[in-house]
Amino acid sequence: MPSQPRETLERFFDAYLTQRDLEKSLSFLTEDVYSLGTGEHEIAADKQALAVLMREEFHESSEPVKYELLNYREKSLTPDVCASFCLVDLDTSDGAGGRLQFQTRLTVGFVRRDGDWKIGSIHMSAPSIHQPEREFLPLNYGRQDVVHMQESSQKKLLKLMSDVIPGGIMGGYMEDGFPLYVINDELLGYMGYTYRELMEDTGGKMAKIIHPDDLPLVEKQVWSGFRGPGEYQVQYRMRRKNGTYLWVYDKGRFITTEDGRAAMISIIMDISTSIELQKRLTKEATVDALTHLLNRREAVRRLEMDDGKGALMLIDIDDFKQLNDHLGHQVGDSVLVELGKILKENVRENDVAVRFGGDEFLVYLSHTDSESIARHKAELFCQLFARRTSQLYGKLGPTLSIGVVCSSEKMPFETWYARVDRAMYTAKRSGKSRVHVDVIK
């Protein structure tokens, strides 16, 4: 039976913590897995780097570690990508005859490969027991009658905080454009600015460094937090000095400054690598690697979401096997790529072009149930493909057979596919390099 995400995680922990088996542990991970542990050095950007860390750990201690997953939660991002969160209770020897028990938080990203789930990212963090509930950047004073620290002490404290917090610090007034209140060198470094350059470029308005498409969401989250719970968190794109953007995670709380103005103070983390990985995993789960068209799973999902009024084409390359046998699979792959280009260049943005499997392709013309329009488009595909392949391979250049079904009403994908499959074989039986159209009324 194909594995499920939680099952994969438990099998990984059994191999890693209980059996202390390195090779078996690595078998549950993707090649480009990235991992963040609770230790400062426990950072790995791929399986090879993680293997080095695990080998060092096993060398230091081969003692089995007891574990228990608690409060496991899972969220599907795409049919082949999901994320989970849980608490992990750990129990191991302290090296002196006693036991060491502790709890960590665990976030895991999963990717489905060939039917089985693999771990693509691991992030383990230790919760703080010292931070009061709902307190952000807590500061506690020894004397309750101390109202203000001296300016030199404030600067020393902010410098210390800047050194230990893993990210940038920024504060803005709760006024139009979020005028800058405070910023640290770490965040300036993220953006490639000096303080003076930032002020000159933005006029001191921090809204100007937020991507225009993201600004409405940021404003909504910040102002909602200000009027409500007193805190906010949001992800958005932040502009660098060179005009490029980086993705950041921004978590803030609200304060009143010395002059009585409302302001926010936030910690900002660069999450560009994580966002790019999510995009890549999503693309791998939905796009055919060879032709860069949608894959079968994503095509079925989109067609099932459509209202059903349209034309579905099933395209088959005539005599494709003979082409592979005579000229080799590399040539066969190049023919598939050429057909993919033709389809992408000749469909609309809201149409669907798919490599359905092998040398079969699907095209769905959304909101187009006209027989004449669908026939014209299918014949255009045939002409363009035959012209291109004859230029490249002469008499061995293959042609297309295309079945088309036009429908003005929604139907299950399996029913629609069965109809268009019959139409395509009717085209083949009539002499290949043909188009056959059926209309469902």
Say whether 22 sits in a helix, a strand or coil: helix
**Positive or negative, the Cα torsion across 99, 101, 106, 112?**
positive
Report the run of H or E that residue 218 belongs to, with start and end: helix 215-227
**DSSP 8-state secondary structure symbol assigned to residue 14:** I
The answer to whether the beta carbons of residues 338 and 292 sit under 8 Å apart is no
* Radius of gyration from C-alpha coordinates of the chain: 29
Catalytic hit among 288, 359, 421, 438: 359
Distances in whole angstroms, Cα of residue 238 to Cα of each of 169, 209, 241: 14, 6, 10
The answer to whether the beta carbons of residues 397 and 389 sit under 8 Å apart is yes
Is 359 among the residues known to form the active site? yes
Give the Cα separation of 64 and 267 in Å (integer): 38
Give the Cα separation of 60 and 52 in Å (integer): 13
Collect contacts of 15-20 with beta carbons under 8 A, ≥24 apart.
16/54, 17/64, 17/65, 17/66, 17/67, 17/90, 18/64, 18/65, 18/66, 18/67, 19/64, 20/58, 20/62, 20/63, 20/64
Give the Cα separation of 173 and 257 in Å (integer): 9
Say whether 89 sits in a helix, a strand or coil: strand
Torsion of CA 276, 113, 9, 127, to 10 degrees: 0
Active site (catalytic) residues? 359
